[in-house]
Amino acid sequence: MLQCFLGLFSAVSLLVTVKGTNAVCPLKINPLKLVVRFNSSASADCSTSVTHQGMGWESTMGAVPLSTASLITWRVSQLIDWEIQPPFCYINYDENQCTVDLPVTIYKTPDSVSISTVNQVMMEGNQYELQCDIHNVAPAQNLTVNWYKGETLVNQTNFTDTIKRPVSKTSKLLIHPDRTDDGAQYRCETELKLGEAGPQPPPKNTSKPLIIEVHYKPKHSISTEKISQSDAVYLNCTVKANPAAVYTWHSEHLTEKISSSVIQSSTLSPGNYTCTATNNLGAESKVFIVSSAGWTTIWAIVIAGVVLAVLLAVICYVIYKIKSRQNSVV
């Protein structure tokens, strides 16, 4: 009875299948995994160094029947089955069987990558959304979307989809533009990171740049400027604004309307001159205080004359002392 039980147990143990890359299985797969572009060819070798009763490849595409060779190749001329199950190589030896899987990833770069925004014109201080559309890419879980402002990376988006077939994805970026962003270029770039077995460097596709236009009101760096009157007075009210600013001047000394951003005159009277820069977003004023240079110039001349007289007196005194010493020595 005992001998019968042991015989039955031995017979059952011979039917055990060892799956995966178990060290007991005397099979070697090369490469260990495949990353293949859709509709391209693919192949992998399976080899062994032990005596066996047969080995082969099981697969929905390119199956290899049982063979007594020590190396057999799984080969597909066009890999077009997105749902392909991992092929596996199997071997029968010493009344055992074991298998080793070959992971296969099929990829496809996007048909197109484009960037857009609902708002073609943006206002300083508001929030806006940029959108990057990626059409027909696989696998999405290996996709990274990089957002660039100029040449600076500002954001990244990754996806967790497990769908193997091509899908279309969207990535969005929120921005808060200010006046320094007027004319800035944004672009989105896709990158398929397929690991060491995939193409190096990873395939990239980039959208055309999107140039944003930002509208902002005039803003002076200082609100008041003091100027001393001289032969020519130069008042510069030029300021950046989008749309461009229009200028108006106000002063009791001005007798005519001035629309230029600059006043340059040799006959401008001392006093206050207010310039207002305006566009459809707002207005900002700057005051120029022009002071008389008459007494200032006179006092400057007097002081300079006194200093020069004192300097000449000192020089004369020094010369006199030197000559006096020379005469006394003689």
Q: What is the pLDDT of residues 60-117, one digit of tens each?
A: 999 999 999 999 999 999 999 999 999 999 999 988 899 999 999 999 999 999 999 9
Residues 33 and 104: beta-carbon distance below 8 Å: yes
pLDDT value at 230 more than 80: no
Tokens of 54: 């047969």
Mean pLDDT estimate for the chain: 88
DSSP 305: H
Q: What is the pLDDT of residues 19-34, one digit of tens each?
A: 444 457 999 999 999 9
Domain range summary for the chain, segments of one domain joined by +: 18-107, 112-215, 224-294
- Rounded-to-integer distance, Cα 194 and Cα 204, Å: 12
- Rounded-to-integer distance, Cα 142 and Cα 132, Å: 17
Q: What is the pLDDT of residues 120-152, one digit of tens each?
A: 899 999 999 999 999 999 999 999 999 999 999
Q: What is the pLDDT of residues 238-261, one digit of tens each?
A: 999 999 999 999 999 998 899 999
What integer is the mean pLDDT of 159-171?
95
Give domain 224-294's CATH superfamily. Immunoglobulins (2.60.40.10)
Tokens of 209: 């740049």
CA distances from 19 to 22, 89, 125, 317 (A): 7, 10, 61, 114
Q: Determine the topology of domain 18-107 in CATH.
A: Immunoglobulin-like (2.60.40)
pLDDT value at 16 more than 50: no
Residue-level pLDDT at 292: 81
What integer is the mean pLDDT of 208-221?
96
Residue-level pLDDT at 327: 64
**Phi, psi of 14, deg, nearest 5:** -70, -15
| Intrachain domains 112-215 and 224-294 with the same fold | yes
What integer is the mean pLDDT of 41-68?
95
The CATH architecture that domain 112-215 belongs to is: Sandwich (2.60)
**SS3 sequence, 260-298?**
CCEEEECCCCCEEEEEEEEECCEEEEEEEEEECCHHHHH
